[in-house]
Structure 1
Amino acid sequence: MIKIDDMQIPAERYNDVEEARDALKRDEIIVKDNEGIVWIVDNENYPKIEGFGYDRVDPNPSTDES
């Protein structure tokens, strides 16, 4: 769960991007917060957290920058 102010966004925390890629399902995206923590959230919830330092991570391993 990602908690921002009074919002609680359903999310799953992962140790690294590879682990998140293995768990990724349809209609989900991988994000990384400003502390480098990797999360999976639903596509519909991403706009709610994007302005708080959560950046999308490309699910394609060939372009991994981490």
Structure 2
Amino acid sequence: MISYEPLFNTLEEKDAKLIDLLNANLFSSRTAAKFRKGESVQLSTIETLCKYLDAPIEKVVRIE
């Protein structure tokens, strides 16, 4: 199972929200919905987030 809890925790630490990433055109609204629902997203999207947030992958996604 995929968990994006680390992403939401990282966003909270950086005083940001998922909508801020969406507004920065990092991904589509459909992908944002996938994050909220805990569904799979492309690894390239995870890579983009890691680079944008300057965070390791562990701060974005966790496999449970």
Structure-2-length-normalised TM-score: 0.34
Task: Tell me which protein shows more helix as a share of its residues.
Answer: 2
Structure-1-length-normalised TM-score: 0.33
Which structure has the greater CA radius of gyration? Answer: 1
